[in-house]
Amino acid sequence: MQFDILYQHRDFIIIYKPCGISVHKDRETQGLTTQVANQLGVPQVWLIHRLDKITSGLLILALNVESASEFSRLFAEHQIHKTYLALSHQKPKKKQGLIIGDMKKARNGAWKLCQSKENPAITRFESVSCEPHLRLFFLRPQTGKTHQLRVAMKSLGSPILGDDLYGKNIAEIDRTYLHAARLEFEFYGEKFDVKAMPKEGKWWQKDSVKMKINENPFFGKGKIPV
């Protein structure tokens, strides 16, 4: 498949990863990095961070060892600021704030949020109502734990729409509604701010959802590319 390249720099690219595509090889003949390298006509690209298979959105790939090392440092020092969008049918316990707690393994590959805070997952969030029984969340993780946002949403009483592991299995939901929509960072003194609307999923296409995304200051001023 051909990936949409949303930003191309001499040292890195930012692509749109569709939902349902793993960043790892899985059972595919070629993994994502090999496919992107072939698409660019280069020997190799470097995977800097990860998105779950069910998550769509912005993914940075380095084009050389030096930039891969620099991005690894930026991620380790929490200098890459990410904003995710999520949808839920359930009203949260609170409309905005911080979700903080240690994460422990639970059953069936799931994780759970604990009250302890020894090495906590930290997520800042805000939510707005789009229409009855449909709520939009803006999620800004301060840490990068496995399933962090999915667990955070469940802890609010608002599991992500279509998330079979942490919510209800609803047959008519066509995807898990979690999307990496914005990346903000500084790379060798140059500032970058890249945004992308989700492409897959009928619930993202609702006018009420698009309007709330574009008008919310938590996400950022100005309309984002469709």
Helix, strand or coil, per DSSP, at residue 47: strand
Sign of the torsion angle spanned by Cα atoms 156, 158, 164, 168: positive
Distance of alpha carbon 178 from the chain centroid: 6
Rounded-to-integer distance, Cα 129 and Cα 89, Å: 10
Of 4, 11, 26, 52, which is the active-site residue?
52
Sign of the torsion angle spanned by Cα atoms 18, 23, 25, 26: negative
∠ CA 99-148-105, rounded to 5°: 110
Q: In sequence order, which ranges of 126-226 are alpha helices (DSSP H)?
A: 148-155, 207-215
Nearest CA among 195, 203, 220, 218 for reference residue 87 = 203
> Tokens standing for 47?
């995977």
Determine whether 52 is an active site residue. yes
> Tokens standing for 190?
């140059």
Q: Which residues are catalytic?
A: 52
